[in-house]
């Protein structure tokens, strides 16, 4: 009996939420693959790529309660790393005609797409590790502004270091070989990593500090260290996500990794519910669907006239503002996918991440 309870406990704490979310992604993949036409497939693929980014942002912001406006720069780093590694060697001299001598090795290195993604993630994680001392010690508001400065720094460098990054010119030559399946697998991987962090001891201590920093510190949580773990992990996810994005679009420039993208992923996380991984997925799905509908209205595909450019983004911002006013915890209320009642024998609430989740967790362990 005790063994069964323990097994259910493990299942509930470590397996249920990621399994349910990965299952949802798989379902979206299968349904789209069977029924989706070209446009729908493209929209769903993009939604899954956004999911990777939002799940990455959740790994840091959701667990720590620190909002970050700088995470898109990790995606940018991953995107450029993947581009250097996967643009065919024969094309590189044309793509980067002015590459300075001390960086000419960038023209020679080459890797397969999966290896390139791994390297991209590691590059972003390393960059995050270097920045961590500056970011993790700040209070939430200061942290938000500091991460926004990070976004500006990276964008300025990418935009102006023309010999190396092509600056404002479009990056060309990246193979366009990421489809629906690749994006779905990426989203599943991101979910697995984010949940591993969330359900780990580090994740638990971090959420304790999110709910109330002073008592958390009093019971021995080293907030800076836990935040660093989450910051670096989430940078890794964003780095991989940025690399994946390049093989989907496949042309891009620094502006794709700036304010509009930042607003999109922050809005997705807030609207879904910042404090739960489920919220990250719900937000990504909701906003992707909504912005696709708005885009069609704006371009005149739905309705008679069409609206002036900018109206779609305005509506999304209005939606975010209304959510903040009426449902600040997001659509999920910060709860995870509910544990099905029939398995537990009682109606379950959230496992982790819900406002009272930390306390509930502690009680179940003692």
Partner 1 sequence: MAEVVQHVVDALSLGGIYAALTLGLGLLFSVMRLVNFAYGELIMAGAFAMYLLQDTPLLVLVAGTLAVTIGVALVTERVAFRPLRGVDPMTLLLASFAVSVMLQNGARMVFGPIAKGVAPYPFLEQDLIIGSVRISVLDLTGVVLTAALIGAVAVMLQKTVLGMQIRAAAEDAEMADLLGVKANRVIAAAFAIAGVLAAVATLILIFQQGAVSVTVGFLPVLIAFVAVVVGGLGSLPGAALGGLLIGATTGLLDAALPTDLAPFRDAFLFSIMMALLVIRPQGLVPQKEARV
List interacting residues with partner 1 (CB under 8 A).
Answer: 65, 67, 133-134, 137-142, 144-146, 148-150, 152-153, 156-157, 159-161, 209, 213, 217, 223-224, 259, 263, 266-267, 270, 307-311, 313-314, 316-318, 320-321, 324-325, 328
What is the C-alpha to C-alpha distance for residues 65 and 139, in angstroms, rounded to an integer?
A: 10
Of 289 and 318, which CB lies nearer to partner 1 in the complex structure?
318
Residue number, 44 or 216, with CB nearest to partner 1: 216
Q: Which is nearer to partner 1, 187 or 312 (CB)?
A: 312
Q: Residue 59 is encoded by which pair of tokens?
A: 């790994």
How would you class 117 by CB atoms within 10 Å of its CB: exposed for 0-12, middle for 13-18, buried for 19 or more?
buried
CA distance 89 to 111: 10
Q: In whole angstroms, how close is the CB of 159 to partner 1 at the nearest point?
A: 8
Count of CA atoms in the C-beta half-sphere (13 A) of 218: 4
Contact 125, 236 (CB under 8 A): yes
Closer of 223 and 358 to partner 1 (Cβ): 223
The residues near 197 (Cβ < 8 Å, ≥ 6 apart) are 59, 63, 203, 229, 230, 233
Minimal distance in Å, beta carbon 318 to partner 1?
6
Looking at the Cβ atoms of 14 and 319, the one nearer to partner 1 is: 319
CB 109 → partner 1: shortest distance, Å?
25
Helices 180-199 and 38-57 cross at an angle (nearest 10°) of: 20
CB of 313 to partner 1, least distance (A): 5
Q: Tell me how far, at minimum, the Cβ of 208 lies from partner 1, in Å.
A: 13
Phi, psi angle pair for 329, to nearest 5°: -85, 0
Structure tokens at 281: 């997925």
């Amino acid at each position: 009996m005790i063994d069964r309870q323990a097994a259910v406990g493990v299942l509930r704490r470590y397996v249920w939420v990621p399994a349910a979310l990965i299952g949802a992604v798989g379902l979206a993949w299968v349904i789209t693959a069977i029924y989706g036409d070209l446009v729908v497939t493209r929209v769903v693929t993009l939604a899954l790529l956004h999911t990777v980014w939002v799940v990455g942002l959740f790994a840091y912001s959701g667990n720590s309660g620190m909002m970050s406006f700088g995470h898109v720069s990790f995606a940018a780093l991953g995107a450029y790393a993947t581009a250097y590694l996967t643009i065919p060697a024969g094309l590189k001299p044309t793509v980067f005609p002015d590459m300075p001598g001390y960086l000419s090795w960038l023209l020679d290195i080459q890797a397969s797409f999966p290896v390139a993604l791994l390297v991209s993630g590691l590059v972003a994680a390393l960059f995050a590790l270097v920045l961590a001392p500056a970011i993790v010690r700040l209070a939430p508001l200061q942290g938000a502004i500091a991460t926004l400065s990070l976004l500006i720094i990276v964008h300025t460098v990418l935009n102006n270091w023309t010999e190396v990054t092509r600056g404002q010119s479009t990056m060309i030559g990246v193979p366009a070989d990421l489809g629906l399946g690749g994006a779905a697998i990426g989203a599943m991987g991101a979910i697995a990593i984010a949940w591993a962090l969330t359900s780990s001891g580090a994740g638990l201590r971090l959420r304790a500090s999110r709910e109330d920093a002073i008592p958390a510190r009093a019971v021995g949580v080293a907030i800076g260290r836990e935040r660093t773990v989450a910051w670096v992990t989430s940078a890794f996810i964003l780095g991989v996500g940025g690399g994946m994005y390049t093989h989907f679009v496949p042309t891009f420039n620094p502006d794709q990794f700036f304010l509009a993208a930042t607003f999109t992923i922050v809005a997705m996380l807030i609207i879904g519910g910042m404090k739960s991984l489920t919220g990250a997925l719900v937000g990504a799905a909701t906003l992707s669907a909504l912005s696709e509908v708005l885009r069609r209205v704006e371009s005149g595909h739905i309705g008679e006239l069409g609206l002036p450019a900018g109206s779609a983004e305005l509506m999304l911002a209005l939606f975010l503002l209304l959510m903040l006013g009426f449902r600040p915890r997001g659509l999920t209320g910060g709860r995870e996918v509910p544990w099905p009642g029939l398995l537990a024998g009682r109606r379950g609430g959230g496992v982790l991440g819900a406002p009272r989740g930390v306390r509930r967790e502690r009680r179940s362990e003692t």
